[in-house]
Amino acid sequence: MPGCCQNDHCASSASANAARAASPAWRRVLWIALLINAAMFGVEVFGGLQAHSASLLADALDFAADAANYGLSLAVLGMALHWRSRAAWIKGASLLAFGVFVLARALWGAWAGQPPQAVTMGAIAVAAMLSNGIVAALLYAWRDGDANMRSVWLCTRNDVLGNMAVLLAAVGVLGTGTRWPDLAVAAVMAALGISAGWKIMRLARVELQEYVSHESPVVSDQSQWRRS
């Protein structure tokens, strides 16, 4: 029957994802990503403050959020799917919140900011793009896993796009001598964060609903057995 085939397919897919999540290779990739993101967070905070760049500070917060996300992913390795889905939901919510913060920071910069240092922006953006490119290459093989794995891939993909945008902002600031390219990039990064965060939360919610619907018949059967 189609319904049974679909349930069997879901069960086998969940088992395969659980096996991949417990893989030592996945753990190593997460540790490398965690260390790279933590290091780049420090670099971008210092550089963003020195260069008065809203987009660099936004990218620094993104690195911090990703480092925390990788740590959370490491914490739930080997756990059941519903725990990994809950972790993915938390990561999605943090990414969405980051996007809202960056948008607010860009609006504040439009009101009271000053032109950033384009050369410093560009140099740090190149370093950040290379770092995220390495992480993205390591994570590419895991992009089709469960919500937790996909959330890690989406975060890293957005980071690479964000780094490219910061580099373009640096060129724009250098060419115009104004802060507007920097603020425009900060707004774009906010939109990426909000979009990816919502997508991750939605996928995690679907996985949790599937888990509840799968477990409900078991609980019902146990309750009927006890009443009899």
What band does 68 get if pLDDT is binned at 50, 70 and 90?
Answer: confident
Q: Summarize the confidence of residues 153-170 as an average pLDDT.
A: 83
Please state, in angstroms and rounded to a whole number, the distance separating the CA atoms of residues 219 and 108: 52
25-61 per-position pLDDT tens digit: 888 888 999 999 999 999 998 998 888 888 888 888 7
The whole model's pTM is what?
A: 0.66
Contact criterion met (CB below 8 Å) for 69 and 154: no
Q: Summarize the confidence of residues 8-14 as an average pLDDT.
A: 47
Contact criterion met (CB below 8 Å) for 188 and 99: no
Radius of gyration of the chain from its Cα atoms, rounded to whole angstroms: 21
90-99 per-position pLDDT tens digit: 878 887 887 8
Please state, in angstroms and rounded to a whole number, the distance separating the CA atoms of residues 47 and 24: 35
Locate all alpha helices (DSSP H) within the chain, ordered by sequence.
2-21, 24-51, 54-75, 81-112, 118-139, 147-176, 180-227
Q: How far is CA 169 from CA 16, 51, 61, 90, 136, in A?
A: 42, 13, 17, 30, 22
How many other C-beta atoms can be found within 10 angstroms of the C-beta atom of residue 5?
Answer: 9
Segment among 24-38, 53-67, 80-94, 185-199 with least mean pLDDT: 80-94
pLDDT at 212: 74
pLDDT at 10: 46
pLDDT at 1: 38
Q: Summarize the confidence of residues 139-159 as an average pLDDT.
A: 74
Domain count, the chain: 1
Q: For tokens 């989406």, name the residue.
A: 154
Domain residues for the domain of 146 are 2-227
